[in-house]
Each structure stands twice: as C-alpha cells, then as structure tokens.
Amino acid sequence: MIIVSFLTGLIFGLGLIISGMANPAKVLGFLDLAGAWDPSLMLVMCGAIGVGFFAFFWAKKQQTTLLGFEMKLPSATKIDRRLIGGSIMFGVGWGIAGFCPGPALVGLGMGLPKALIFVAAMLAGMGIYELIERLQKR
C-alpha cells in the first residue's frame, strides 16, 4: 500500500509540474483575465474535469476500490454558506499566491520559498479551523 501511495503521489506531482500547475507565475497568468491572460491551464483543467467525471461515474457504482478497500465518496450535496465561503477563501488564496494545496506541496518539495510560506499559512488555517470546530461543539 505504501508503494502504491508513493507512486500515485509521484505521478500526480509530476503531472502538476509538467502541466504548469506548480508554477505560480503560470497560474497567476491564467487568473489574470484583464491583463496578459494565459489560457493554457484551461486545457489542463478541462482534461482533469473530464477524467474526474468518468472516474466518479465509475466509482459511484463500486463497493470497493481497485485495491480492495471500502469505497468512501463524499455524500454531501448541499450548497450552503460554509461551502460558498470556503470556495471564496480558496479562490482568493489561489489568486494571491498562485498556489493551491497540491501544487504548493510540490513547490515545497522543489524548494520554492513562496511554497514554504503558503504551506505554513495553510497548516495554520487548518489548525484554526479545527480549534473553532472544537470550541463550537462545546
């Protein structure tokens, strides 16, 4: 299982590097609709959506994964304030930094200082979220 996890992560990381998703300048160029817009990442995203669509379509019909583990898919379908707020925060963070979580970890592995700052802020945000959730349950 460890080898499969490692190989999956390696392939994913290489895909992010090859596609340009791990390059903040390329991502920010894609998000700059009013300036020097770079539409090349749209092809990457369309490809990912296409693969994901068929993968989830297949996965919904399965009881176990290809490795024999229990299939665990998200069950939430409700669009609420938390989902919209989280989406906005994700988009703002992506637009400011040029990173989202996966490419930031790849950038960290590549030794990019900006990725270190992003990952530290991401982990701090995750910790704050957990703290708030625990306090609300009390």
Task: State the pLDDT confidence band at 76, using cuts at 50, 70 and 90.
Answer: confident
Q: Which alpha helices (DSSP H) does 70-112 contain, by range?
A: 81-97, 101-109
Answer yes or no: is 67 within a domain: no
Report the pLDDT value the prediction gives residue 1, as an integer from 0 to 100: 81
The model's pLDDT over 23-45, given as tens digits with 9 standing for 90+, comes to: 898 889 988 888 888 888 888 88
The model's pLDDT over 64-74, given as tens digits with 9 standing for 90+, comes to: 988 888 998 98
The answer to whether the pTM exceeds 0.85 is no
Cα-based distances in Å from 20 to 15, 38, 83, 106, 124: 8, 11, 27, 11, 26
Answer yes or no: is 57 within a domain: no
Q: State both tokens at 39.
A: 């539409």
Answer yes or no: is 117 within a domain: yes
pLDDT mean over 75-92: 91
Cα-Cα-Cα-Cα torsion 57, 58, 59, 60, nearest 10 degrees, comes to 50
Report the pLDDT value the prediction gives residue 36, as an integer from 0 to 100: 85
Answer yes or no: is 63 within a domain: no
Task: State the pLDDT confidence band at 50, using cuts at 50, 70 and 90.
Answer: very high
Report the pLDDT value the prediction gives residue 115, as an integer from 0 to 100: 93
Q: State both tokens at 102.
A: 């996966």
Answer yes or no: is 8 within a domain: yes
Answer yes or no: is 18 within a domain: yes
Answer yes or no: is 106 within a domain: yes
For residue 55, pLDDT beyond 90: yes
State which residues form the domain around 27.
2-38+76-137
pLDDT mean over 119-132: 94
Report the pLDDT value the prediction gives residue 67, as an integer from 0 to 100: 85
The total of structural domains in the chain comes to 1
* Higher-pLDDT residue of 1, 61: 61
Answer yes or no: is 47 within a domain: no
